[in-house]
Every structure is written in C-alpha cells, then in structure tokens.
A and B are shown apart, each in its own frame.
Chain A
Amino acid sequence: MTLKTPNFTGWRAVVLSEADGNTDRLRRQLGLLGVSVAVQWTPLSAADLPDLVLIDADRGWDELLPFSDAAPACPVVALLGSEAPGRIAWALRHGAGAIIPKPVSAATVYPALVLAVSLHEERLEARRRIAHLEERLKLRPLVFAAVKRLAAERHIDEERAYAILRDCAMRRRLPIEQLAAFFLGGSESLREVG
C-alpha cells in the first residue's frame, strides 16, 4: 500500500489559546502547510467548526470546546507544557489525538497534525462501524425468526435455512437482517433459492 503524503492545504484551524510566542510559531508552521489560522481564547462555536482545533491544555476549560467525552467533532491537538496527569486526562477527555509540547518547536507541528487527523479519521470509522454493528445486532432476532419459519415451511434444517437466507441476501446485496425482515413481512418469498 502506498502511504499518501498528508496534505492540509486549504484547511482552517482554530488555536484556542492566548496569543503568545507559541501561537506565533504555530501560525508560521501551519501557514506554510497551507492551513489558515485563527487564534482565540473564547469558546468555539459548534455552528462554525474548523477542520482542526489546537487547544492550550495547560489552561483550557471545558466550555472552550463544544464537544467532549472523547467524541470530538474535528481533530484536536493539545498544546501542553505541564506533565500533570490531570491536564493530560483533560486533553484526552476532549479528544486530543496528539500533543505539541510547549514551548512549540517547528518540528513538532506537522507530525502532530498527521497523527491527530489520522486518529480522528480512525475514530470516525470505528464509530460508524460500531453503529452499524449495533443496528445489525438489534435486528438479529429477526434473522432467528426467519430461519425458524423457513426451516418449518420447507422441512429443512436450520443450517440449510440460514444458508438460503444468506445466499439470497448476498444476491440482493442486502444485509441478512433486512432480508429476514422482508421475508417475515411477506414481501420476499425466497422463490429462486433452496
């Protein structure tokens, strides 16, 4: 697999920090990656989320970010000078995917961005997958009921009935749960298989 060179050109970042030498260096380094930067030390609006948030985790408070519980709406990078476990935990709780140590040095910015953005994408993908699997899990009793009924109707064992449902779902390109629901509702006769 080819790892594509990460490219942040055209991205919008908000640095939640008081303006100081660190934010100057962040501005420069992000600027040359093609990222536009706003620095503010007031809460971020949920209505106007940037592509990326960098937050002063030494002094940050909960209301700065319109999200928490490690379910960030965009990638978060923590700016951290402190080694206090409480501040590290605060950064984690707000979804930080990477840390840029303070004082900010140039070489730490790009790797932190790549890390935080990749982790954010992975998390989104994992969340999507979990939601999908939960949905399927919820519908599992339907599959069980459909197997029972199909086995009874056609005088076959449950294993065979399940195979029929699965093959048919694959052919229709449907999740097996959905096909089972159609079958139980009478709109799917499973005529061509079995």
Chain B
Amino acid sequence: MVDRVKIGILYSTTGPYGSMGRDAREGAEFAFHDYRQRGGERIEPAYFDPRADLAAYLEGARSLIRDQGCRHIIGTITSTARKEVIPLVEKHDGLLWYMCPYEGFEANENVIYIGGCPNQHLIPLFDYLLPRHGARPYLVGANYVWGWEMNRLARELIHNAGGTVLGERYLPLEETAVERIVADIAEKRPSFVLNNLVGPSSYAFLAAMRALGARDPAFLPENCPVASCDLQECELSDIGAGVATGQLCAASYFDTLDTAGNHAFKARLKDWSGGERIVSSLFASAYTAVSLCIAAIEAAGSDAPERVRAEVLARDWPSLFGDMRVDAATNHAALPFLLGRINERHGFDVIASAPALAADPYLTGATTRPAPRLRIVS
C-alpha cells in the first residue's frame, strides 16, 4: 500500500495569467475531490502560489520538495517558470507534470508533458488555415519564448508553403497598447492573424480587432480570423461578451466536447462546484495531470518517480482527451487536435478535429505519423 503521499501543486492565481492559474488549480482541486469521492485518502495535495513572481517558483518548488516531501509537482503555466523549476526537480529526481500547450524543443526525463507541442497544435492549425485563408498571415506574440518560437515556426511553415509573413510584432505580458499593431494590420491586410499574445495584451488585441472588423468587414473573423493555440474558456469572460466571437483556437479539449466521458465529468463537476461551470482545457489538463499522477502512484504502490513514470508509460490511460498514451522516448502525451470557434456563450464550437497525434517535440518528423486528414465538423 501507498503511505501518505503529497503531490505539489504550483500555480499562480494572480498576475497577468492569473485566470489560467486559478482554473488550473481548480482542476487539480477537483481531481483530488474525485479521488476522495472514490475513497482515496492517502494522497494529498500541497499547494504553493508563486503569485506570478518568477523567483517564487523556485522557492515554491523547493519548499514543496524539501518541506512537504513532494516527489511530484503539477504545475507552471509559462515556459519561463517551467524552465526555472526543472533543474531543481532534476536534482531531486522528482517528476514535474506540465500540462499547458507549449512551443516544444524539450524532452526531459523528469517531466511528463501532457500539454501539446507545435506538431499537435500549430501545424494542424496551419493545415486548416492556409488552404482556406491563404498564406499571408500577420504574427503577434508575447515577448518571451512562447511568442518568439511559435512565430519563428509559423514563419518557417509559411515560407515552406510559398507564402509571405506580412508582419511580426511582440508585446510584454501586461502591455495593452495594441493600437499601432492593429493599425499596421489594417494597412497590411493579412489573410489571417496568428495570436500568440498572452493575457491582458491578448484581450486588448482581440477587442481592437473586433473594432477594426466593425469598421472594415475585411477584418471580420470569417474573412481574417485571429487564431491562437492557447486561448481558454476561462479567459473569455475577461475578454468581454461577444468581443472574440468567431475567432479560432486550437486545443485538445473544449468544454463543449460531446463525449460520454466529458458529460459524466461535467455532471460530477456541477455537484462539486454547486452549479454549471465552463471547463477550460487548462482545467481539464490539470485535472488530467493530477488524476494520472494519482492513478500511477496507486498502480506503482509508491510515489518513487521512476516507478510512477514506468507505470505512466506502460499503458493507455482513459482520460478526458480519450485514451491517453505517453510516449516512452519523449515523455509527451499523444493528444487529439480540436479547432474551436468562439461562440456567444463563452465557449468554443468545435469546427474541425483530428485523432490523437504523437508529440514530436523536436520536429524530427521521424516520430510523427503522416498528418491525419482533418475532419471538418461544421
């Protein structure tokens, strides 16, 4: 039997990506609630909130590992924070469970990756966009590695497709002065916009694009969509009612997912939160990470990271994303691709999908199967 075990939960619930951190943390809390409902009591969460202070991530991880005895940490939203925590996790030979979509080019033995990397989000997104809207995008992004690398890859994909990138601009996380970028977009008239902004700058940008579309129909979402790989249901209320309606986002889960597993999940969640609740892919991913961690610890009969990892890699795990397989070479989960269009109800309508695709974090092409044909839903 497993002795008392603590799993560290490391999310910032304040700061520029606070709404994402809160959703992720709640997903983790709900996974523990589910576990207790099943009679589980030996595995407990230990929470630490770094409040979006980069240095506090390291402090938090250290405290979770040393003071609380955690050998597993679920958390971090940004790549910067993940990179901050990894060396410590490596040193203590623990496991970090990272569950956000990210820019790839990492495959650490001490990390289980269940967010997607670009061959699971950006590449299929472009497979959808280029034939429909043309290969003349405008790229915007947050001024750190996520924005830079996603846009670099976008540029490469556009180059390979014989297209032209009409512009590429960056904003700091909390910068909301988007006027000059939007004026440039109005002038350059791209065929679509790839939005890798994060948080408030992304919301301001979407609002300004909405206003631009109202002045000039060429910039309405159906003509020049703004597409991203990380926009969440939990952010749509921050953005404002109707502001982003019609814009696109790639993900592996949406609240509206029509599967028996998701309906059962939403029903349980309704009981727990005392009302209807919209589930973001971050909530679903954090829930999945915690549930998978708990299940693998139970299967291993220990929280020893190498044994837990072996359990994770040994089989497919039922999850909200379908049966989830984590690749033994990369430690990355295979993930389905969904393309969502923002509706008026703070949610996404799934307009295209593809079955689970193995991660190819270094884009070697060797581990990717030929891209499955997108199934167009509507």
Contacts and interface: CB of A to CB of B under 8 A. Distances in A.
A126 to B, nearest CB: 26
Contacts of B109: 25, 28, 106
A105 B91 CA distance: 10
B225 to A, nearest CB: 23
Contact of B363 (A3, A7, A25, A107): A7
A45 interface: no
B363 A105 contact: no
Nearest to A2: B159
Interface string B100-135: 000001111110000000000000000000000000
Interface string A6-39: 0111100000000000000100110111100000
Interface residues of B, number: 24
Given A5-B153, A7-B364, A105 B329 contact: no
Contacts of B110: 106
Contacts of A28: 109, 329
B62 interface: no
Given A2-B159, A31-B329, A107 B106 contact: yes
Contacts of A4: 156
A106 B108 contact: yes
Nearest to B118: A5
Interface residues of A, number: 19
A5 B366 contact: no
A32 B330 contact: yes
Interface in B324-371: 329-330, 361-367
Interface in B253-311: none
B113 to A, nearest CB: 12
A182 interface: no
A9 to B, nearest CB: 5
Given A2-B155, A105-B90, A32 B107 contact: yes
B105 to A, nearest CB: 7
Interface of B: 83, 86-87, 90, 105-110, 152-153, 155-156, 159, 329-330, 361-367
Interface of A: 2-5, 7-10, 25, 28-29, 31-34, 105-107, 110
Given A107-B108, A110-B362, 11 more contacts: A2-B155, A5-B153, A8-B364, A25-B109, A32-B329, A32-B330, A32-B362, A32-B364, A33-B364, A105-B87, A105-B90
9 contacts: A2-B155, A4-B156, A7-B363, A10-B366, A32-B329, A32-B361, A32-B362, A33-B362, A107-B108
